[in-house]
Structure 1
Amino acid sequence: MVVTHSAARGTGSLPAPPPKKHHSARVRREAWVFLALALPNLLLIAFFTYRPLLVNMYYSTLDWTLGSTDATVVGLGNYLEFFTSGDAGSVLGTTAVFTLATVGGSMILGLAVAVALNQKIPGRTVARSAVFAPYVLSGVGVGMVWLFIFDPVYGVLSWVLRGVGLASPQWINDPNLSLLMVIIVYVWKNLGYCAIVYLAGLQSMPQDVLEAAALDGAGPIRRFFLVVFPLLSPTTFFLLITSLLSSLQAFDIIKIMTPTGNGTGTLIFEAYLQAFGAYNRAGYSAAISVVLFVLLLVMTGLQLRFVERKVHYA
């Protein structure tokens, strides 16, 4: 009997096939395509964002007058001066009040407006456009218009108050009223942004959940606080981060309505006054800017670490 070669091998294991080279070649090709598309943007971000950030950190260690060719290295001296001076408490307190008031006011009023605009009422498309319009307007133009409204002598508000026999408050001269004035204008400008984002969240709400809550006997108020608002937690979390970052960096309206920072000296505006005001202290201004950057970084990290735990993603 003749035994063939294939039968002599029996049922032993066969060697593994060689790896396919075309798969690895495709991966390398996709990696090169990704680098070709992403590298220019990454270089631009590195040059125009991270490089100025690092340069500003270096400037914060200098005692440098803007426009001067000489600078003295002081290390952490500018930071120590800021935190040990009497201005630190005032600036940080004003920043905290402005941020909490503008973020809270914009989000609360924005949610209320979004609920109203989500109803089937005539002209709601026009109303939505009117609510969102201030957000896309220039902050300089908005500040100039509202400055005319709040002017205690020639303003529209003073004219209305005089018509009913009341004196106009000194919005511009009183530091407390100046801060309140800027907060009102900033909330008015950013109200539409929060309203539109909340409206998008309301329109994407699962209707079967709302119908089930209604069948269980929950009224409109209970449905809102027990069903609607928890389902809006991803939207609220997004608005909390974006509004907080925007408020901490608010500058244009404050600059136009209170050029000297009378009661409105937030961190970013104080940095501007120190560098381009009467002091020309560029190094000290850079230190305040770094403090603002660290504050933004810490607050964003805390929100991502703790606040996001309470977000319910459907």
Structure 2
Amino acid sequence: MQNQTASRTASAPALQPDNKRKTAMTSKTSDGIWGYVFIFPQLVGLLLFSLIPLISAFVLSMMKWDGMGEKQFVGLDNFINTFKDEDFRIAVVNTLYYTVLTVPTGIILAMLIAVGLNRVKGKLIYRLIYFMPNITMSVAVAVVFMWLFNADFGLINLYLKEWFGIDGPRWLTDTRFVMPSIAMLSVWMGLGGNMVLFLAGLQGISASYYEAAQIDGASKWQQFINITVPLLSPTTFFVTIMTIIGSFQVFDQSFVMTSGGPAKASYTIVFHIYDSAFVDFTFGKSTATAVILFIMILALTLFQMKISKRWVHYED
């Protein structure tokens, strides 16, 4: 009897770990199931509105189709014809020019404004004011800027004349100024969003770095160059990627303000995609151009991620 009791007592602790393991496994399984339940709507949306259209686009890029008749498989002819198209080459050059104008300017201005706002009271109000253009419809903003850039009665040329005695250029009808004009509009629209991101990054930098720099006698400029800029590099990296992707997809401003003109000086890649599809009704060629744009953006993003290890510094 005593032996049986001792045996039960000895075996009881051995059963407890097994029960704990079973309970833990059951809990993990339950958590996993609920996790899939919660992400299921997003997975369905990703499948229906992203993956399936993406695969369909790759298939359609190898077809000849006018939107009405039967599709005809043509292989890589659409891609070859796209690269031979003079309008496509013009669109690529204009898009790259627009990217060069908007990306560095927008990032630098957003960073400087964020640094300034981080030092003043009432950051919430200023953040709201700067962010408002970011949520405004691009078409509405383009219409307003068409009036501002008007060469005859626009406010910009009016103030240039009254304040500086300068006759302003014909912003939207001169091939030299049309793309810088659209770039100014785009920088103004995207400034608030980038500024909010930089402001969030600044608030994540520990104040101890600046206190140590002040003890060492570092100036504000030295603190900005040696502390703020390096520790903001992850935010700068993200903003750079998103801004470049957005610059390659510019369409609304060009379509509303200039219709791609004058003399195709504001004719962009996405405008060419629209033109091929809904003006020439060559949907296969249009989709091929979209696939080329996708590959360009993907390659550029991967390249940035590759070289980011050299200049992006994450705080330990």
Q: TM-score, normalised by structure 2?
A: 0.86
Residues 64, 72 of structure 2: 8 Å contact kept: yes
Q: For the structure 1 residues 5 and 146, does the alpha-carbon distance in structure 2 shift closer, same or farther, using more than 3 Å as the test?
A: closer
Question: Which amino acid in the other structure matches residue 102 of structure 1?
Answer: T
Equivalent in the alignment of 1:131? 130
Aligned counterpart for 1:273 among listed residues 261, 275, 288: 275
Equivalent in the alignment of 2:148? 149
Summarize deviations over 1:69-118 as a string: whole Å, max 9, x none: 13322111111111133334322221112122211111001111122222
Q: Distance in 2 between matches of 1:27 and 1:216?
A: 51
Equivalent in the alignment of 1:104? 104
Question: Which amino acid in the other structure matches residue 267 of structure 1?
Answer: I
Equivalent in the alignment of 1:182? 182
Equivalent in the alignment of 1:10? none
Equivalent in the alignment of 1:192? 192
The alpha-carbon deviation at position 264 of structure 1 amounts to: 1.6
Equivalent in the alignment of 1:225? 225
Question: Which amino acid in the other structure matches residue 275 of structure 1?
Answer: A
More helix by share: 2
Equivalent in the alignment of 2:49? 48
**In structure 2, the residue corresponding to 1:176 is in which secondary structure?**
coil
Q: Distance in 1 between matches of 2:123 and 2:41?
A: 43
Which stretch has the larger CA shift, 268-277 or 151-160? 151-160
**In structure 1, the residue corresponding to 2:64 is in which secondary structure?**
strand
Q: Distance in 1 between matches of 2:287 and 2:244?
A: 21
The alpha-carbon deviation at position 161 of structure 1 amounts to: 4.4
Q: Distance in 1 between matches of 2:268 and 2:26?
A: 55
**In structure 2, the residue corresponding to 1:306 is in which secondary structure?**
helix
Q: Distance in 1 between matches of 2:160 and 2:28?
A: 71
Unaligned 5+ residue runs, structure 2? 7-12
The alpha-carbon deviation at position 197 of structure 1 amounts to: 1.7
**In structure 1, the residue corresponding to 2:176 is in which secondary structure?**
helix
Residues 102, 186 of structure 1: 8 Å contact kept: yes
Q: Distance in 2 between matches of 1:134 and 1:15?
A: 66
Residues 260, 271 of structure 2: 8 Å contact kept: no
Question: Which amino acid in the other structure matches residue 255 of structure 2?
Answer: K
Residues 111, 195 of structure 1: 8 Å contact kept: yes
- Structure 1 runs of 4+ with >6 Å offset: 4-7, 14-17
Q: For the structure 1 residues 162 and 61, does the alpha-carbon distance in structure 2 shift closer, same or farther, using more than 3 Å as the test?
A: same
Summarize deviations over 1:238-296 as a string: whole Å, max 9, x none: 2112222222222222221122343122221211121123x122111101111111122
Which stretch has the larger CA shift, 136-145 or 251-260? 251-260
Question: Which amino acid in the other structure matches residue 146 of structure 2?
Answer: L
Residues 237, 308 of structure 1: 8 Å contact kept: no
The alpha-carbon deviation at position 25 of structure 1 amounts to: 2.6
Residues 95, 248 of structure 2: 8 Å contact kept: yes
Q: Report percent identity of matched pairs.
A: 30
Which stretch has the larger CA shift, 112-121 or 44-53? 112-121
Equivalent in the alignment of 2:260? 260
Summarize deviations over 1:132-191 as a string: whole Å, max 9, x none: 221111111110000111112232223334556644422222233111110010001111
Summarize deviations over 1:215-242 as a string: whole Å, max 9, x none: 1121111111111111111111121122
The alpha-carbon deviation at position 308 of structure 1 amounts to: 4.0
Report the RMSD for the aligned CA atoms in angstroms. 2.7
Residues 149, 157 of structure 1: 8 Å contact kept: yes
Equivalent in the alignment of 2:288? 287
Q: Distance in 1 between matches of 2:183 and 2:91?
A: 16
Q: Distance in 2 between matches of 1:89 and 1:132?
A: 35
Residues 249, 268 of structure 1: 8 Å contact kept: yes
Q: For the structure 1 residues 128 and 79, does the alpha-carbon distance in structure 2 shift closer, same or farther, using more than 3 Å as the test?
A: same
| Mapping 1:72-111, distance limit 5 Å | 72-111=72-111
Residues 260, 268 of structure 2: 8 Å contact kept: no
User: Matched residue pairs, number?
Assistant: 305
